[in-house]
């Protein structure tokens, strides 16, 4: 604090264990040591003044926590995160709303993966304490790796040659003999009969 009046030759006439002091020129600096009340007397030449000081411990805001501090999703997915604290929650900031959008309902944080990337979502409560959710979003496009095809081994096809056996069958010789005709001698016999008859009658 700044001191006024006097000849700028200020000094502490009376102090306290509750607070420590330091004077430089016309500036008084106070350091709280413990909870309590203190009366300080600051003087300059022949005049003095009283300063009343109250020291109290800082108020610690109720803590807030999340059911998980990080999340990894694929584009198009969503997830709910539990919030634990004293209630009245709100989203303080979202470092990359293009990657992930978020909303709060009751004591649940809902996150929606929009595009690949990273984001940090800060959730706070009315008392002032906050918690951060770190999010990573991956692409939903599957990466297809070429499969290694087995090596195709080509073996030469064996050339098999079959020679057709030449089988020669002797042709049978069939001889036909003309059948003996008995009809001709008989005809010849009867051709001579008239002659014989004619000779007999001539005698």
Measured between alpha carbons, how far is residue 137 from residues 5, 15, 126, 145 in Å?
Answer: 65, 60, 29, 21
Between CA 41 and CA 52 the distance in angstroms is: 9
Range of the domain at 131: 65-138
Between CA 106 and CA 152 the distance in angstroms is: 63
Domain termination residue (choose one: 95, 114, 138): 138
81 and 118 within one domain = yes
Query: What is the pTM (predicted TM-score) of this model?
Result: 0.45
Q: What is the pLDDT of residue 193?
A: 58
CATH number, domain of 118, equals 2.60.40.1080
Domain termination residue (choose one: 111, 138, 165): 138
74 and 124 within one domain = yes
**Cα dihedral 163, 169, 170, 174 in deg (nearest 10):** -150
Structural domain contains residue 30: yes
18 neighbors 38 (Cβ within 8 angstroms)? yes
Who's near 82: CB < 8 A, 6+ residues apart?
A: 66, 67, 107, 108, 109
Q: What is the pLDDT of residues 178-201, one digit of tens each?
A: 555 555 666 666 665 566 556 555
Q: What is the pLDDT of residues 18-42, one digit of tens each?
A: 888 887 777 878 888 888 888 888 8
89 and 24 within one domain = no
């Amino acid at each position: 604090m700044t001191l006024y009046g006097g000849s700028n030759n200020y000094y502490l006439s009376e102090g306290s264990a509750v607070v420590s002091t330091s004077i430089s020129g016309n500036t008084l600096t106070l350091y709280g040591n413990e909870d309590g009340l203190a009366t300080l007397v600051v003087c300059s030449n022949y005049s003095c003044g009283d300063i009343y000081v109250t020291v109290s411990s800082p108020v610690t805001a109720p803590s807030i926590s999340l059911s998980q501090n990080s999340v990894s999703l694929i584009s198009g997915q969503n997830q709910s995160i539990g919030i634990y604290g004293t209630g009245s929650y709100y989203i303080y900031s979202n470092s990359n709303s293009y990657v992930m959008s978020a909303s709060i309902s009751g004591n649940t944080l809902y996150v929606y993966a929009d595009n690949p990337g990273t984001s940090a979502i800060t959730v706070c409560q009315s008392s002032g304490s906050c918690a951060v959710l770190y999010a990573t979003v991956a692409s939903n496009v599957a990466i297809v790796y070429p499969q290694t095809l087995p090596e195709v081994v080509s073996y030469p096809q064996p050339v098999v040659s079959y020679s057709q056996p030449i089988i020669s069958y002797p042709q049978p010789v069939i001889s036909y003999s003309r059948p003996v005709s008995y009809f001709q001698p008989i005809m010849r016999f009867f051709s001579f009969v008239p002659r014989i008859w004619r000779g007999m009658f001539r005698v």
